[in-house]
Structure 1
Amino acid sequence: MKKLLMGALVLGTVISTSAVKAQQLNTLSAKEKKNGWQLLFDGKSTTGWHTYLKETASPAWKISDNALVLDQEAKKNGAPGGDLVTDGEYENYELSVDWKISEGGNSGIIFSVHEDPAFEQSYLTGPEMQVLDDARHSDGKINKHNSGDLYDLKKSSKNAVKPVGQWNTAKIMKKDGHLTLWLNGVKTVETTIGTPEWDALVANSKFKGWKGFGKYPKGRIALQDHGNVVSYRNIKIRVL
C-alpha cells in the first residue's frame, strides 16, 4: 500500500509538472508584456495566420500538442500545402520562435515577405533562417544551408542546433536593416540589409538577379512548407 501511495504521488507530480509546462507554452510573462512582446500563436488556433496568397490557413497546418504542425498526411488527403504567413506585416522587430523538425526534414523561418501574386512563393522576396535536420537532409552537406544559417547567404558562426526531434529556439532581430540571428542562445549570423556586404552576399547566392528578393523592408513572417513535417510554438514578437 505504501508503494502504491508513493507511486501515485510521483505520478501526480509528473502529471502536475507536465500540466504546468503546457500552461506555460504560448504565453507571455508579466515582464514580456511590460516589454512589449505580443503572441503570434495562441496555441489553440491559426488565428492571425493564413496560407501565402490565400485568405485563410490551409488545414494542412494543424494544432497538435500546443504547436503549429505541418501535417503531410493531410496534404496527401487533399489539403492544400503552402507556407503559413502572418496576417500582420513587420519592419523593425525581435522575433522568437521554437521549432522542431522531423527526421530528414527541411523548413525555414522566412521574413520580410512581400505578399503579391507577382511572387508565387514567400521565398522569392523573403530571406530565410534555415530549419533543417542537418545530419540527414541533403542540404546539410551544402555550405550556408544548415540550421541557423541565413539560407544560402551567410553561414552560422557556430553550430548550435539540437539533435533532430528536440525543440530549438530561434531569434531574429531586425532593426533599420541590421539583421541578427540566434539559435539556442548562440548568435549565428549578423549583417545589414542594403549595404555593400549584403549586396555581395546576394550576388554570390542563388538569389542573384531575383527581382524582389530582400527589397521590402516591411513584410510578413512565414513558416515554410518544404514538404516535411515540422512544428512551431512559442511564436512571439516585439516591435522595435
Structure 2
Amino acid sequence: MKYLLIFGLIMAMFSSCCDKSQEINTLTKEEKADGWQLLFDGKTSDGWRNYGKTTFPNGWEITEDGTIHCPGSGRGEAGGKDRGDILYGDKMFGNFHLKLEWKISKGGNSGIFYLGQENDSLDYIWKTAPEMQVLDNINHPDANAGIAGNRQAGSLYDLYPAVPQNAKPVGEWNQVEIKVYKGAVWHIQNGETVVEYHLWTPEWNDLVAGSKFPALNPAWADVASEGYIGLQDHGDDVWFRNIKIKEL
C-alpha cells in the first residue's frame, strides 16, 4: 500500500509539472520571443473600436470568461442601435500571421476582415477588405448560396471556398489563422490550409469581376497592401478570443 501511495504521489507531481495548457488570451515566453503580440487582453476592449468611429460600441461586450462577444440583435445584418463592425485600430498590418478562435451561435453569421480600409465614402469595412467567413454551416441559409461552398466557414467570402470544409459545429471553438505575405494569402482552419490565393493577379481580377463586389465598390479588387483587422457584426451571437498577430 505504501508503494502505491508513493507511486500515486509521483504521478500526480509529474502530471502537474508537465501540464502545458496555456491560459486564454496570453502569450507564451516562446511566442513573445518570436515577435507575437496580443490584440485582445481578455479583459478590456483596449485597441478596438467601431469602424469609422473612435469608441468601442455598447452593442458589443467583453465577457467574464475572456471573449469579445457580439450579442444577437434578432434583426440579422439590419442590426440595431450602437452596433456595427469593429476593428483593431491601434495599427494597420501588411505582412502578418494572425491567429484567433471563434464560436458561433445556431444559425449565426460573422466574419474576420483583413487589409481593411476606412473611407468616408464607404460605410462598411467589407466594401474594402477580404473576409474569412464565420458561419454555422448547418443552419444558416448562406451556406448553400454562392458557388461551390464559397460562403461557408473558412472561405474567402463569395470568392474561394474552404477545402476541405472542416468547421466545428455550433458552440465549439474553431481555431483559425490568416497569413498574408506580399499578396499571397492563406486561410488555415482547425489546423488545415483551406484557402490559398494571391491578390492583384489577373486570376484575382477576373474572379472579383464576376462577383458581387464591383457593384458595391468598383475598386474592390485593388485591395490595399496594408490595412486593419476587423470583426463583423452580422446581427448574430458570435464570440472571439485568443487574438494574436506576428508581423512578417
TM-score (norm 1): 0.87
Residue 190 (structure 1) shift: 0.5
Matches for 1:39-118 after TM superposition, within 5 Å: 39-64=38-63, 65-72=65-72, 79-87=81-89, 88-118=91-121
SS in 2 for 1:208: helix
Residue 79 (structure 1) shift: 4.6
Deviation string, structure 1 residues 147-181 (Cα, Å, up to 9, x no partner)? 01100011112011001110001100000000011
Change (3 A) 1:101 1:183: same
1:159 aligned onto 2:165: yes
Residue 91 (structure 1) shift: 0.6
4+ residue segments displaced more than 3 Å: 72-75
Residue 212 (structure 1) shift: 3.6
1:169 aligned onto 2:157: no
Deviation string, structure 1 residues 37-68 (Cα, Å, up to 9, x no partner)? 00000000110110001101102111111100
Residue 140 (structure 1) shift: 1.0
Change (3 A) 1:212 1:222: farther
Higher alpha-carbon Rg: 2
Q: Amino acid of the residue matched to residue 203 of structure 1?
A: A
Deviation string, structure 1 residues 178-222 (Cα, Å, up to 9, x no partner)? 001100011010011001121122112111352342421111011
Unaligned 5+ segments in structure 2 are 1-15
Query: Which residue in the other structure is 2:224 paired with?
Result: 216
Residue 72 (structure 1) shift: 3.2
Deviation string, structure 1 residues 60-86 (Cα, Å, up to 9, x no partner)? 1111111000123699xx751110101
Q: Amino acid of the residue matched to residue 68 of structure 2?
A: L
**Percent pairwise identity:** 42
Unaligned 5+ segments in structure 1 are 1-15
Deviation string, structure 1 residues 124-160 (Cα, Å, up to 9, x no partner)? 0001000000100010112310001100011112011
Q: Give me the CA root mean square deviation.
A: 2.1
TM-score (norm 2): 0.84
Aligned length in residues: 220
